[in-house]
Amino acid sequence: MSDIVTFGETMLRLSPPGSARLEEAAEFEVRAAGAESNVAIAANRLGATATWLSKVPETPLGRRVVGELRQHGIETDVVWSHRGRQGTYYLEQAGKPRGSNVIYDREHTAISTAEARELNTDLVQDARVFFTSGITPALSSTLRETTANMLKAARQGGTTTAFDFNYRHKLWSPDEAKETLTRLFPGIDVLVIAARDARTVLGFEGDPRQLAHKLGSQYDFTTVIVTRGAEGAVGWHDSVVHEQEAYETETVSSIGTGDAFTGAFIARRLHGDDVPTALEYAAATAALKRTIPGDVALLSKDEVDAVVKEGGKSISR
């Protein structure tokens, strides 16, 4: 039995070296990358046993993804498919003013056809926490239904449900996201959402503290975490809002920072920490992730403990 079970797509990320342009790239660095598996790995690094559920093509690329995730120490429980392809994305990295750019190539993937009846819902119901994100239902109409059914199965088993809103404008419009994701809200216990998404997608107004309180009150969540970038995060729980500043860090790669934060928060709550302490560890984990290339938080609990012990008030981007 795992402490946390996550469900979603993990892609292969292809990145040209340095700040090279995609159109001139002669070689690519390849890494497995996906929000739900990133969360599982971060939680596992902080002491929670974790399993990633998905539907994966039975191809060399699909096996590459599963093998790499297993190397990171998490369990995988996948449906092997002879139809559909392995999703990928291309990352072109650069500083200002060009910035970094992501190009998705995830049409007709194996996971887009995944149904709850194919997946190991017993594993979900035996877990302490089930996690998925707003990226998953954005991938297909089938996954919109599957995500709802997986949350329902978790609730029926008494499993706490955690959800990262994770809006991606390259996958769907704000109106589509709002209509779909708010329908899932009654099945969610713990919501993680960026302040910008609460404003631009859900249409809420106010500062992060007000956003957290409004979301918690309106949708009857147990816990709401509103992330606020360089200013850290706030957490609403039992009608009380707790603030957590970001820790100072030098950024090597910002991708996966939010996943590291969420995985650490869940792990520390499972460990028995209260919300303020879990937020502290989540912020420290996010700061450490920004120093690590790739999407995955390859860190140790001792490193996170050291950051928390040393303290910090700001984050340097």
Backbone angles phi, psi at 300, to 5 degrees: -120, 160
Question: Is 106 part of any domain?
Answer: no
Question: Is 97 part of any domain?
Answer: no
CATH number assigned to the domain comprising residue 52: 3.40.1190.20
Q: Looking at 3, 197, 259, 295, which residue is catalytic? A: 259
Question: Is 101 part of any domain?
Answer: no
State the pairing for strand pair 101-105/88-92.
Answer: antiparallel
- The pLDDT value given to residue 317: 37
- The pLDDT value given to residue 251: 87
pTM, to two decimals: 0.95
Question: Is 295 part of any domain?
Answer: yes
Average of per-residue pLDDT across 73-94: 95
Question: Is 24 part of any domain?
Answer: no
Active site residue 259: yes
Question: Is 281 part of any domain?
Answer: yes
Question: Which structural domain range is residue 298 located in?
Answer: 5-9+36-83+113-310
pLDDT digits (tens, 9 = 90+) for 246-287: 999 988 888 999 999 999 999 999 999 999 999 999 999 999
| Structural domains in the chain (count) | 1
Q: For the packed helices 301-310 and 275-289, what is the interaxial angle rounded to 10 degrees?
A: 110
Q: In what order do the strands lie in the sheet with 88-92?
A: 29-33, 11-15, 88-92, 101-105
